[in-house]
Amino acid sequence: MNQPLIDPFARAIEYLRVSVTDRCDFRCVYCMSENMTFLPKKDLLTLEELDRLCSAFIRLGVRKLRITGGEPLVRRDIMTFFRAMSRHLETGSLHELTLTTNGSQLERFAGDLYGAGVRRVNVSLDTLDAQKFADITRWGRLPQVLRGIDAAQNAGLRVKINTVALKGFNEDELFTLTDWCASRDVDLTFIEVMPMGDIGNEDRFGQYWSLKDLRAQLATRGDITDLPEKTGGPARYVRLESTGQKIGFITPLSHNFCESCNRVRITCTGEIYTCLGQEGHSDLRGPLRGSQTDADLDAAIRAAIARKPKGHDFDYSRQRADGQVSRHMSHTGG
């Protein structure tokens, strides 16, 4: 019953990303529409159900748990869940508990997160220009996020900035962002924009800035050294010799990383997506709510892992956004 989760391509599933809400206090243009219709509360897993579900995965071999949204810190009483998950850190069953956030609520929650055993947070930040930040997030305000980053660092959390590379938007801030991160001793990872969701008039291909080209621009300032380091996710890391800082690249389009994929995603309604770039998913809410024991839930988890595909189909090589999936990024939490 407790055999590890191995997919059809002999990849051990050790990394679980769980969305605890589809709601967010921002409306980033590449993530969701400005006028979103959010799910009714009854459809969402309760915090107790999220605990039981995550605990089942940990029992089956998951060692890294990342909490996502929407914006996870807008979920009511979310710290109750983080504190509950900390028991798995204390037993050693879980090696890392972390989250991805837009930073808006970090000023409020950073200390509590550290107290619950969180040691690293990823903060989404695409620009250091206040007006551009307001434009791309629609509802966000940069000073609030910067205060949150300050609070996180003061609480002892290691911060990594996630920046979506967007042609015509933040190309001119490449060195501004890297220098700012170096000055703050925060890591930085660039992410290629993915063709997910119907975002109205947004042109996915027009937004696409290949990280191969971005890296070439970085190289104009000095040598770049590839690093063997992995943190359990899809990023590949380099060191900029001019500053000594670590830079990550997540390249779902220019360099597919599927061969080493060790992760699955759970939505806030209990759907499991074994690939971010595929539509296929399975229901875990039914077996979770249908029995007080975990036998049916474990069986449903194993059945889903047995259908994990080899990889996604994102592709811009034909000058269009092929492999697009219909759900918004916020639905599966990135």
Residues that constitute the known binding site for GTP: 17, 66, 100, 160, 263-265
C-alpha pair distances (Å), 247 with each of 31, 133, 214, 226, 236? 23, 22, 12, 10, 8
CB 75 within 8 A of CB 107: no
Q: Which residues are annotated as a binding site?
A: 17, 24, 28, 30-31, 66, 70, 100, 124, 160, 194, 258, 261, 263-265, 275
Residue 18 in 3-state DSSP?
strand
Q: Which residues are annotated as a binding site for S-adenosyl-L-methionine?
A: 30, 70, 124, 194
Q: What is the distance between the alpha carbons of residues 114 and 7, in angstroms, rounded to a whole number?
A: 33
Q: Which residues are annotated as a binding site for [4Fe-4S] cluster?
A: 24, 28, 31, 258, 261, 275
Q: What is the distance between the alpha carbons of residues 34 and 230, in angstroms, rounded to a whole number?
A: 35
H-helix or E-strand spanning residue 159: strand 158-165
Tokens 């990872």 appear where? 189
Neighbours of 19 (CB within 10 A): 28
C-alpha pair distances (Å), 222 with each of 217, 239, 243? 10, 10, 9
